[in-house]
């Protein structure tokens, strides 16, 4: 626990500074996390990092997550990128005579979208012309509040298992505690800046961050259980890899963008 807290505080401070700095610094960190996260995903699926299909997956993921606006270039169309990547990966199944199967190609395509769009949405929120910095801290604050609330409430009074076949330590009481704390954080952000965000929107963002964040955690837990591994990587002592730490983020931020709930 001590190692987990120390690592979390240091990593959190570095990440918070990057969010404040914005522009190239934040974008570079997000792209780096996406690269490491996709590497973990490829490794979990037993595909070599330098296999042609893996390299195509990395390329597709980068086309999605790179901050093209900072280069003065228009963002590639997500539908186009997805189709071209699908076509390229399916072509590899033919060229390798099914050494890479359609199942493997599908997994790599899924990973490119899962990781690429997940991290790209974080850049989208931060670059919002309407208080992107404040909205980013609001979203991350609600996600982290949900994690903290679920952990401590679950340890204190948790008795009923939430989803034991996927994550045996999570409880219904902990899940509710995480949602409540996330809502409280949302209300605090609305109270601090009522001209920037109203109470209803703040509650909506908090609810999405908590519920979808917990689901993102369970998605990663389910995937690791299928693969028979404890952590996706070893980058963060006490926390595992990037996908372990960012599993909630890469589900929550796309939903915040796609639902249009963010003030615009």
- Top pLDDT among 106 and 7 is at 106
pLDDT of residue 143: 96
Q: Return the percentage of the chain with pLDDT > 70, whole number.
A: 97
pLDDT of residue 261: 94
Question: Under a CB-based contact definition with an 8 Å cutoff, are residues 195 and 189 in contact?
Answer: no
pLDDT of residue 11: 80
Q: Return the percentage of the chain with pLDDT > 90, whole number.
A: 77
Average pLDDT of span 158-187: 93
Question: Under a CB-based contact definition with an 8 Å cutoff, are residues 100 and 51 in contact?
Answer: yes
Lowest mean pLDDT among 11-20, 199-208, 209-218: 11-20
pTM: 0.93
Q: How confident is the model at residue 237 (pLDDT cuts 50, 70, 90)?
A: low
pLDDT reading at 232 higher than 70:
yes
For 123-145, the pLDDT digits (tens) are: 999 998 889 999 999 999 999 99
pLDDT reading at 26 higher than 90:
yes
Cite the DSSP H helix spans in 22-131. Answer: 23-44, 52-65, 78-95, 102-126
Q: How confident is the model at residue 238 (pLDDT cuts 50, 70, 90)?
A: low
In the DSSP assignment, the letter for residue 167 is: E
The residues, any chain, with a CB within 8 Å of residue 56's CB and separated by 6 or more, are: 85, 88, 89, 92, 108
For 52-83, the pLDDT digits (tens) are: 999 999 999 999 999 998 888 999 999 999 99
Please give the backbone phi and psi of residue 19, each rounded to the nearest 5 degrees, phi first.
-60, -45
For 30-59, the pLDDT digits (tens) are: 999 999 999 999 999 989 999 999 999 999
Find the length of the chain.
264
Distances (CA, A) of 45 to 14, 42, 93, 232: 30, 5, 16, 11
């Amino acid at each position: 626990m001590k190692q987990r807290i120390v690592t979390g505080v240091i990593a959190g401070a570095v990440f918070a500074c990057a969010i404040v700095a914005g522009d190239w610094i934040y974008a570079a960190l997000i792209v780096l996390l996406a690269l490491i996260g996709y590497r973990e995903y490829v490794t979990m699926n037993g595909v070599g990092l330098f296999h042609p299909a893996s390299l195509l997956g990395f390329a597709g993921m980068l086309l999605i997550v790179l901050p093209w606006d900072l280069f003065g270039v228009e963002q590639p169309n997500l539908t186009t990128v997805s189709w071209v990547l699908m076509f390229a990966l399916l072509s590899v199944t033919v060229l390798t005579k099914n050494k890479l199967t359609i199942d493997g190609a599908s997994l790599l395509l899924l990973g490119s979208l899962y990781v690429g769009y997940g991290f790209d949405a974080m850049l989208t929120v931060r670059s919002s012309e309407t208080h992107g910095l404040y909205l980013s801290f609001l979203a991350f604050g609600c996600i982290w509040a949900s994690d903290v609330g679920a952990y401590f409430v679950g340890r204190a009074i948790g008795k009923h298992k939430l989803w034991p076949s996927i994550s045996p330590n999570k409880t219904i009481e902990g899940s509710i505690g995480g949602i409540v704390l996330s809502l409280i954080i949302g209300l605090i952000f609305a109270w601090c800046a009522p001209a920037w965000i109203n109470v209803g929107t703040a509650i909506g963002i908090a609810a999405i961050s908590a519920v979808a964040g917990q689901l993102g955690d369970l998605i990663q837990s389910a995937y690791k259980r299928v693969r028979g591994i404890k952590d996706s990587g070893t980058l963060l002592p006490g926390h595992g890899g990037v996908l372990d730490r960012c599993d909630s983020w890469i589900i929550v931020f796309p939903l915040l963008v796609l639902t249009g709930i963010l003030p615009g």
